[in-house]
Amino acid sequence: MKNLTHQDKTKKPSLLYRIVRGLVKLFFPKYTVFGQEKLPDGPCIIVANHSQIAGPILGELKIPGDHFIWCSAEMMHIKEVPAYAYRDFWTEKPGWIRWFYKILSYLIAPLSVLIFNNAHTIPVYRDARLISTMRESTKKLSEGCKIVIFPEHKVPYNNIVYAFQDRFVDLARLYHRKTGKDLLFVPLYIAPSLKQMHYGDPVLYNSENDSETERARISQELMQRITDLALSLPEHTVVPYVNLPKKQYLKNIPLEVFND
């Protein structure tokens, strides 16, 4: 099957995608959204915990206004989906069942290509093509759109989130160069076990600081604010970024209790 590439988002999504999206919207659990008033009317970057499949689905269905979601480029090319999907989603599964997920990684490839090339996405590359990711994202921001990013990677941080990759913060510097304006980063905590989404207080980028300082400051502040949002809620099971066995899922109990 020929690879499909990232489509021009001015084109109408395919009929098959619209059918799939409609079915997902119909059957996916209904979520209550809190703190949406903290989103600015104009552009911003929404940074959320991944919560496995829940994050991207809610990013597509529940974020208001014009928005685009960062998506791993491998999930948009049919030959690259199986290896990436297995490595990123299912390597933590028990050894005796991994054969099933290896097969599943191939079965989902056509669906992945259909969804991520028709949804409101921007492909994220991990090589020299990253410049195209940053360029397209900056363009969308300057047009007034919001960018949605799930920056966790497989480095433990606390019982709420995995550590953030921080290069996404550079978007704010590029946006400032283009517009002369500083950009807001809005934290979002997704709690599938509560069927809730909670926006937190935004963090303002400071263009007077150097890039490295702002990457560290912004990513740390966002991790902390998402953690604080989670800890402020009734006790619940946290759906982690890594697809662990459910018996290993943790609770949103305060860290001082968690560590005792």
**Helix or strand holding residue 148 (H, E):** strand 146-149
User: Which pLDDT does position 3 carry in this prediction?
Assistant: 38
User: Which pLDDT does position 88 carry in this prediction?
Assistant: 86
User: Which pLDDT does position 91 carry in this prediction?
Assistant: 86
Percent of the chain with pLDDT over 90: 83
Pairwise CA distance, residues 129 & 188, whole Å: 28
Question: For residue 10, is pLDDT > 60?
Answer: no
User: Which pLDDT does position 11 carry in this prediction?
Assistant: 67
User: How much is the mean pLDDT over the chain?
Assistant: 92
Question: For residue 6, is pLDDT > 60?
Answer: no
Question: For residue 53, is pLDDT > 90?
Answer: yes
Closest CA to 193 of 85, 22, 23, 49: 49
Question: For residue 171, is pLDDT > 50?
Answer: yes
Question: For residue 257, is pLDDT > 80?
Answer: no
User: Which pLDDT does position 128 carry in this prediction?
Assistant: 86
Least confident of 59-73, 87-101, 187-201, 217-231: 87-101
Q: In which band, very low, low, confident or very high, does the pLDDT at 95 lie, cut at 50, 70 and 90? A: confident
Pairwise CA distance, residues 44 & 117, whole Å: 23
Rounded to the nearest angstrom, the gap between the alpha carbon of residue 94 and the centroid of all alpha carbons in its chain is 25
Question: For residue 163, is pLDDT > 70?
Answer: yes
Domain boundaries in the chain?
Answer: 29-66+132-258
Question: For residue 5, is pLDDT > 60?
Answer: no
Query: pLDDT tens across 193-235, in order?
Result: 999 999 999 999 999 999 999 999 999 999 999 999 999 999 9
Residue ranges with strand state E in 174-236: 184-191, 196-199, 203-204
Determine the average pLDDT of the residues in 173-183: 97
